[in-house]
Amino acid sequence: MTDRISGKTYTMPSGVFEMPPPKAAFIRETEGKLLDVFGKWGYQEVRTPAMEYMDVMARGLSQAELDIAFKMVDRLTGRMMVLRSDVTPQVARMAALALKDVPRPLRLSYIMDVYRYPTDPGHPRREMIQAGAELLGLDDPQADAEIVALAVGSLRDIGLSDFRISLGQVDYARGLLDEAQLSPEVEDRLMDAANRKDSSRMSRILDETGVSSTLKGSFLALSEYRAGAMDSAEGIEPVNKRCAAAIENLKEVMDLVTCYNIDRDLLKVDLGELASFRYHTGIVFSGYLSGTGGAVLKGGRYDNLAEQFGSPSPATGFAIDILELVEIAAAGASPTHRVSCMLVNRTGDREAGLAVAMELRGMGLRVISLIRDIDDGGLISYAKAHRVREILILAGEREFKKLDQTTGKTSFCTLEDMLDNSREG
């Protein structure tokens, strides 16, 4: 931003955001809707610290995740700290320590800012708003189904409809790796290629390992079964019992999800959903909006995380990238009024005007009390700029002249009329 008078440029760090009133209001409304749906499902909100000691968070974050965290030194202790880069490890720590004596299962939710160095040039944000829900203490397909259904409900409750949920099961890939007996480094390369749907790269890696042609074909299938219905995976011949159990678990979860009045066509199978292969332990899923590339929602089962903080517990959950989601949703949204009315006092009695403004606020209305009077044309421009629904000009002790923003015409009402209308509403 450049000051037109001084010519000075005031820049912000790349990848951070500021929000003028319309966008801030839209974000807050979205957050409110998400917290409401989380609450309806019994997920209680928690808050976690914005900064943590790095050696503590290292228990729940991979080295790659630590590398993209913002770091600083604590002047009091000299210990290295990190800014919150992911909420889930903090929730797992809270469950293992602060909530260790609370009966399981725990249903926890949050909306908080997270900070990380970007790894995707297409998404260069360093500051994000993450909303999520975590279900801890249940190793059961019903828990996974509840989390998936809650994720779908969350997207729907904020007004989205054209999206799909891609579901996978990481144990299927692990079953294949059990047969292949590869080194961890080769496993990571292979799973990364599968997640990127890069079958050519997968084929080259598999040729280097010398696995059988049959097993190679099973690995390559990881990059092929994407965006397909469950029956597209029916024909897969499981290589071993672990693969078979993974497919049966995926089918069971999908069947349970449809019990929440969710259309099966919304759920797509992707056995190559392996972005966090080392972290997840079962069902994984992502949410995609039509016409967009990246996922706006990611989730899955992570049974090994709480153990890193001293209290083993199965867990499943998801997180939503609110900024990514809101930018898409806001593109087709029309501005809404955020202020109920603007009170213009032309009686000359300042005290009376302030008292009336407080009465209106007492009715639950959002009221701007205009301090400096301007002409009617200016009032209309001001009201539109500040998204005010009604202009009320105080014409008498308890009487208003209402100014129509569209036509400029006036009508009259009393404070009692306003009170009656607020009761009816």
Whether the CB-CB separation of 94 and 4 falls below 8 Å is answered with no
d(CA 48, CA 92): 11
User: pLDDT tens digit string along 168-224?
Assistant: 999 999 999 999 999 999 999 999 999 888 999 999 999 999 899 999 999 998 887
Whether the CB-CB separation of 354 and 394 falls below 8 Å is answered with no
| Class level of CATH domain 21-331 | alpha beta
d(CA 255, CA 250): 9
d(CA 298, CA 379): 46
CA distances in angstroms from 278 to 56, 155, 226, listed in the order given: 19, 27, 20
Q: Is the full-model pTM beyond 0.85?
A: yes
pLDDT at site 260: 96
pLDDT at site 193: 93
d(CA 412, CA 191): 70
Phi, psi dihedrals of residue 302, rounded to the nearest 5°:
-140, 80
pLDDT at site 24: 86
User: pLDDT tens digit string along 38-71?
Assistant: 999 999 999 999 999 999 999 999 898 999 999 9
pLDDT at site 423: 61
Whether the CB-CB separation of 255 and 154 falls below 8 Å is answered with no
d(CA 202, CA 192): 9
* Burial profile 378-387: b = 16 or more Cβ within 10 angstroms, e = fewer: ebbebbeeee
pLDDT at 7 over 60: no
Grade residue 21 by pLDDT with cuts at 50, 70 and 90. confident
User: pLDDT tens digit string along 90-109?
Assistant: 999 999 999 999 999 999 99
Q: Are strands 51-53 and 80-83 parallel, antiparallel or unpaired?
A: antiparallel
Whether the CB-CB separation of 272 and 302 falls below 8 Å is answered with no
Top mean-pLDDT range of 180-194, 232-246, 349-363, 402-416: 180-194
Mean pLDDT of the 271-276 span: 89
Whether the CB-CB separation of 281 and 257 falls below 8 Å is answered with no
pLDDT at 161 over 90: no
Whether the CB-CB separation of 177 and 274 falls below 8 Å is answered with no
d(CA 147, CA 157): 15
Identify each DSSP E strand in 44-189 by its residue range. Answer: 44-45, 51-53, 71-73, 80-83, 106-115, 127-136, 163-169
Task: List the CATH code of the domain at 339-424.
Answer: 3.40.50.800
Give the residue with greater pLDDT, 350 vs 224. Answer: 350
Q: Where are the chain's structural domains?
A: 21-331, 339-424
- 276: nearest Cα among 175, 165, 173: 173
pLDDT at site 119: 80
Phi, psi dihedrals of residue 52, rounded to the nearest 5°:
-140, 160
d(CA 82, CA 61): 11
User: pLDDT tens digit string along 328-341?
Assistant: 665 555 556 678 88
Terminal Cα distance for the chain, rounded: 43
pLDDT at 280 over 70: yes
- High-pLDDT (> 90) share of the chain, %: 58
Q: What is the mean pLDDT of the chain?
A: 88
Mean pLDDT of the 272-283 span: 92
pLDDT at site 227: 46
pLDDT at site 1: 54
CA distances in angstroms from 147 to 192, 228, 274, 299, listed in the order given: 25, 21, 18, 8
Give the residue with greater pLDDT, 311 vs 404. Answer: 311
The order of strands in the sheet holding 71-73 is 51-53, 80-83, 71-73
pLDDT at 254 over 90: yes
pLDDT at site 70: 96
pLDDT at 3 over 90: no
d(CA 37, CA 41): 7
pLDDT at site 68: 94
**Tokens 């801890």 correspond to what residue?**
136
Beta bridge partners of 44: 108
- 270: nearest Cα among 239, 237, 216, 232: 232
pLDDT at site 232: 47
| Structure token digits, residue 283 | 């069902």
